[in-house]
Structure 1
């Protein structure tokens, strides 16, 4: 409506006169109107389709080549040349639309999809693939676990990667390499492709210590909108300790059968919550759209949520045995740091490096009790380092060694190598040292905290004092992989179809070979590190398994690998969790199984059938 100028003049004078007497009321009205405007803006933003997910911890990095955590932002934001179908485990095209393998298996040519673009609109070409492999992963000045994905043969040679055209890349291999296609399958375990036009400068520039600036590029203090990605979502806003928001990548390549560009959902809000109990409360109150999408639901949550499905308008899905592994491990490293100090107390190092000691620990852990009390019977004992879904999995029925709960056997093993018990049942070594060690895991994961508490009680039954302490995940990873300041800890690892996806954990020079982690590029000097003979045998088996293209022979090779792990016990596997997730019914398109390490692996295909909006506050402003 338009008003005459004379009306506006008289109205202005009247308001000024009124303000002199009624300023508090006007301020209140202004504040209310301001609040309504913010709610209206929030309401408009909420008209976009979105889902709200959660994680226990903030991201440690925005740089995929430096990532050692799960979950991570890269599940949403980056892709590889290939991908793995979460239902079948089949390798499928992703950024590459196809590939050709020569008859001798030593030449692989990938053809990229036409018209690929980065999230900033720049073309994604073969130059980016060559840059990622040759300039970043194979760069000696850049420490990345992805090197382990591409080490080939007994000498750990790398492929030669070269551009044939803007859309074609050639990989020349020193010998046939069966895991190559899965090694390039993107997050969470494979190689992601990086933007050369954004990162080349940081790779080529060195700091005063001679290290590549790439290692400090895309840290979590980076403006998230500056991180250029090729996945379905790009980062929009990050508030440490609270949330990370993603928005649709307008240049993501994938389309549905009708030609509509994916992803369907406009925004993802990734909330950070300090415990799984807090996550449960938020899910039940309607603030979260899924729980259990990263790690399986806690069994007691399953029982509770199953009763609330209809009222809460969500569904609890079961996907069979989860592909991941959970284990405890001791620090077997005999090396010394740059100051010449042992990484592990020599007294405790002797215990940890005694096979019978590790076997006794395995026999003393009461896994049946763990299954009944902590997992409510919804799990099974885990004995193999390979996922049960893998064709290379060796079961106990096929001869894999297991360690049943047996306290008498545990005591016998300890006594056979010089340990003894005093009158109070406390355990001492042959030199009279009380057996006591620290035991770490990541805080906030109530399942692991419960497991840790039980293991502490279990080992007390054989006279061992365990100092169990959950700490933050990022602190734990730093202590394990950088300072190596730890004695025993518990963690989980993502699984998969091909055992070679775990090469960085199992090969002696792997960047995640945590139980005996050797010198790594760019880290302070370590002296006196050496692998055990059985570690070198695992190296040989992984080399042979990667070279072998005959599936029956690969099964035999990886069967031997599993036997060595169970005989030598560098890690003690615990429980095979059952994949459980609860998801709002408004989310459609879920394909949930226990195979992928992430329940929402096809997130770009998910749809929401209603807008997620709490109406009450907005209605108060109308």
Structure 2
């Protein structure tokens, strides 16, 4: 999939963002600036957002870009298909197009999160003339992008490379600086680092860098590291509450006490990890800083398990624990090994199941054949976008969808509070509502945050400058990158 408009999979961002644009662009500091929209304004009642679009923008196939493309993309793709967009655009009623260069987003109620959703991570604009009337997820253009972005995809060799050439008609004068851009596909982590060290490649985006190599890479001559937590990335453990004994809150709390999350942070991503207590990332202004943590306490974990009616059996174990994660993520493989040891110490038999990501999607997210599913999640600048999707019971789907409420957590009060805060325009009031949401969810532990972390990317500053400056390194279009002469 080479289409960031329909998925939040990292590889789709890395391969698709050079081709596609959105209404706004977000920097590594979280600042929004104009992209396909030259400017915008919000009505006094905050229910209308008017975007004034650039003129003389064309798609890669030469067709003109208009407000009809914005209307089609936001109404039919971002708000209905994208895992983050379904929450971010929950208040979107329709998009009006008074002329070809104006798009007006009409909301049913004010939305504090809307502007955070207008950039490429969840609102890439697709050409209506190619996508309208098709089955979006099966359209062949998911691998043959036609966008308005700085680069055109001209060659895709699966397992090897994707080659792009400069979009001569890109709407920002002087961009991009490069005539050609090649994205190498190197599945082996050691080989990726070696290729970077040997000068065969010029950049490594955050998810491609083994954490164990960060220090060494930072010390290489002519190399610059860029770190950001704009998208609030975290490794989360999704607990399947449909399965016994994980439907019992005491068992879930026992897991939280049994896993040494400080050791995970200090070992897996030293210097770039933070403790996440509760569902909202610590970098977010809505984070409840005084929320008490589950201390690493194997004795307390054992007491909770005994109290829940799961004593150790004759062999010393209590029950099985099917642990799934994408095998390609080296950090998660190391995390799984530590979780295995921690849980074995309290009598839980961990069944390790590293899987190819496509298989994990089907067996884990869709097939629900897991007890805990570990994955890297973007939680975003606003929790309405990246957090609520994991806990609102309205986001439990049949059949299940990936990156939604896959723990099957249901709490009527939490659902009600999510609805309340969504229309609260007073920041203090909204923070108070979110504080209560965090208290309830952290008590119930349907998801265990293993750690929040910074995305750290690297590039050769002796060859390239002004690179990897988007909200995340894996979402950079490289329009602003410049060659060092």
Q: TM-score, normalization: structure 1?
A: 0.71
SS at structure 2 position matched to 1:295:
helix
Q: Do the aligned residues in 2 keep the contact of 1:82 with 1:182 (CA within 8 Å)?
A: no
Q: Do the aligned residues in 2 keep the contact of 1:360 with 1:410 (CA within 8 Å)?
A: yes
Distance of 1:436 and 1:328 partners within structure 2: 16
Indicate yes or no: 2:55 matched with 1:121.
no
Match of 1:501 among 385, 388, 403: 385
Indicate yes or no: 2:142 matched with 1:251.
no
- The answer for unaligned runs of 5 or more in structure 1 is 1-60, 153-157, 203-212, 334-348, 428-434, 511-516, 524-528, 611-622
Distance of 1:600 and 1:454 partners within structure 2: 30
Distance of 1:115 and 1:99 partners within structure 2: 18
CA-CA distance at 1:219 after TM superposition: 5.9
Distance of 2:372 and 2:425 partners within structure 1: 37
Q: Structure 2 matches for 1:610-621, cutoff 5 A?
A: 610=485
Query: Where does residue 339 of structure 1 map in the other structure?
Result: none
Offset from partner CA, 1:478-524 (integer Å, 9 cap, x none): 333433333321001113221112143332233xxxxxx4225999x
After superposition, the Cα gap between the structure-2 partners of 1:253 and 1:270, relative to the gap in structure 1 and judged at 3 Å, is same
Q: Do the aligned residues in 1 keep the contact of 2:28 with 2:228 (CA within 8 Å)?
A: no
SS at structure 2 position matched to 1:83:
strand
Q: Do the aligned residues in 2 keep the contact of 1:297 with 1:579 (CA within 8 Å)?
A: no
CA-CA distance at 1:409 after TM superposition: 0.5
Match of 1:400 among 288, 291, 294: 291
Distance of 2:326 and 2:338 partners within structure 1: 15
Query: Where does residue 85 of structure 2 map in the other structure?
Result: 146
Query: Where does residue 124 of structure 2 map in the other structure?
Result: 192
Match of 1:358 among 252, 258, 272: 252
Match of 1:446 among 330, 340, 353: 330
CA-CA distance at 1:604 after TM superposition: 1.3
CA-CA distance at 1:426 after TM superposition: 1.8
CA RMSD of aligned residues (A): 2.8
CA-CA distance at 1:135 after TM superposition: 4.4
CA-CA distance at 1:149 after TM superposition: 2.5
Q: Do the aligned residues in 2 keep the contact of 1:328 with 1:491 (CA within 8 Å)?
A: yes
Query: Where does residue 397 of structure 2 map in the other structure?
Result: 518
Distance of 2:401 and 2:323 partners within structure 1: 28
After superposition, the Cα gap between the structure-2 partners of 1:268 and 1:107, relative to the gap in structure 1 and judged at 3 Å, is same
CA-CA distance at 1:168 after TM superposition: 1.0
Distance of 1:441 and 1:94 partners within structure 2: 36
Q: Do the aligned residues in 1 keep the contact of 2:28 with 2:230 (CA within 8 Å)?
A: no
Distance of 2:409 and 2:401 partners within structure 1: 24
Q: Structure 2 matches for 1:78-157, cutoff 5 A?
A: 78-87=20-29, 89-136=30-77, 146-152=85-91
Q: Structure 2 matches for 1:303-342, cutoff 5 A?
A: 303-307=215-219, 309-310=220-221, 313-317=222-226, 323-333=232-242
Query: Where does residue 301 of structure 2 map in the other structure?
Result: 410
SS at structure 1 position matched to 2:322:
strand
SS at structure 1 position matched to 2:11:
coil
After superposition, the Cα gap between the structure-2 partners of 1:411 and 1:192, relative to the gap in structure 1 and judged at 3 Å, is same
CA-CA distance at 1:81 after TM superposition: 1.6
Match of 1:607 among 471, 476, 482: 482
Q: Do the aligned residues in 1 keep the contact of 2:4 with 2:17 (CA within 8 Å)?
A: no
CA-CA distance at 1:330 after TM superposition: 1.6
Query: Where does residue 451 of structure 2 map in the other structure?
Result: 575
Match of 2:2 among 62, 71, 87: 62
After superposition, the Cα gap between the structure-2 partners of 1:116 and 1:284, relative to the gap in structure 1 and judged at 3 Å, is same
CA-CA distance at 1:63 after TM superposition: 4.1
Distance of 2:206 and 2:218 partners within structure 1: 19
Offset from partner CA, 1:455-499 (integer Å, 9 cap, x none): 111100011111112111122123334333333210011132211
SS at structure 2 position matched to 1:172:
strand
Q: TM-score, normalization: structure 2?
A: 0.90
Q: Do the aligned residues in 2 keep the contact of 1:322 with 1:576 (CA within 8 Å)?
A: no
Match of 1:560 among 436, 442, 455: 436
Indicate yes or no: 2:92 matched with 1:217.
no
Match of 2:264 among 364, 370, 381: 370
CA-CA distance at 1:249 after TM superposition: 2.2
Distance of 1:320 and 1:108 partners within structure 2: 27
Q: Do the aligned residues in 2 keep the contact of 1:378 with 1:578 (CA within 8 Å)?
A: yes
After superposition, the Cα gap between the structure-2 partners of 1:74 and 1:549, relative to the gap in structure 1 and judged at 3 Å, is farther
Distance of 1:251 and 1:557 partners within structure 2: 47
Q: Do the aligned residues in 1 keep the contact of 2:20 with 2:120 (CA within 8 Å)?
A: yes
SS at structure 2 position matched to 1:421:
coil
CA-CA distance at 1:126 after TM superposition: 1.0
The alignment of Structure 1 onto Structure 2 pairs a total of residues equal to 478
CA-CA distance at 1:542 after TM superposition: 2.6
Q: Do the aligned residues in 2 keep the contact of 1:185 with 1:191 (CA within 8 Å)?
A: yes
Q: Do the aligned residues in 2 keep the contact of 1:290 with 1:584 (CA within 8 Å)?
A: yes
Q: Do the aligned residues in 2 keep the contact of 1:592 with 1:600 (CA within 8 Å)?
A: no
Query: Where does residue 188 of structure 2 map in the other structure?
Result: 275
After superposition, the Cα gap between the structure-2 partners of 1:298 and 1:602, relative to the gap in structure 1 and judged at 3 Å, is same
After superposition, the Cα gap between the structure-2 partners of 1:127 and 1:576, relative to the gap in structure 1 and judged at 3 Å, is closer
Distance of 1:246 and 1:217 partners within structure 2: 21
CA-CA distance at 1:195 after TM superposition: 0.5
CA-CA distance at 1:602 after TM superposition: 6.4
Q: Do the aligned residues in 1 keep the contact of 2:237 with 2:449 (CA within 8 Å)?
A: yes
CA-CA distance at 1:569 after TM superposition: 1.0
Match of 2:158 among 202, 220, 240: 240
CA-CA distance at 1:423 after TM superposition: 5.1
SS at structure 2 position matched to 1:159:
strand
CA-CA distance at 1:378 after TM superposition: 5.1
Q: Structure 2 matches for 1:526-541, cutoff 5 A?
A: 532-534=409-411, 536-541=412-417
Q: Which has the larger radius of gyration?
A: 1
CA-CA distance at 1:185 after TM superposition: 1.9
- The answer for unaligned runs of 5 or more in structure 2 is none
